[in-house]
Amino acid sequence: DAGITQSPRHKVTETGTPVTLRCHQTENHRYMYWYRQDPGHGLRLIHYSYGVKDTDKGEVSDGYSVSRSKTEDFLLTLESATSSQTSVYFCAISEFGFPGGTDTQYFGPGTRLTVL
């Protein structure tokens, strides 16, 4: 199994509070991703990173920010959580970033976030 951990694994918070989720990898992979998974929507990309301090937006980036100060850590921040951000969040890593469409993406165990 790829060495990917996410913390916390579960969190309940209130609307309007800031929340930070952490993804840590021990594989030294260059590319890291944050997805959210919701019933009826599947997995959707929030933000991704292609190197330290290099990040870009995904399909559903509104209300989220990310930071990557070290290769091994990718943080996802909800500046002011809303109930629509209740979801399961997955971090993923890949070594090559899908050049030519081929690569392997490894997923973390997920964080279940509930915003009341």
CB of 43 to other proteins, least distance (A): 4
Residues at the contact surface with other proteins, assessed by CB under 8 A:
4, 31, 33, 35, 40-45, 48, 50, 56, 58-59, 90, 92, 97-110
CA dist 12 to 9, 18, 45, 81, Å? 11, 12, 22, 11
Instruction: With beta carbons less than 8 A apart as the criterion, state whether 93 and 106 touch.
Output: yes
Pick between residue 75 and residue 80 the one whose CB is nearest to other proteins: 75
The minimum distance between CB 34 and other proteins, in angstroms, equals 9
Q: Which is closer to other proteins, CB of 19 or CB of 92?
A: 92
Provide the 8-state DSSP code for 80: S
Please count the residues of the chain: 116
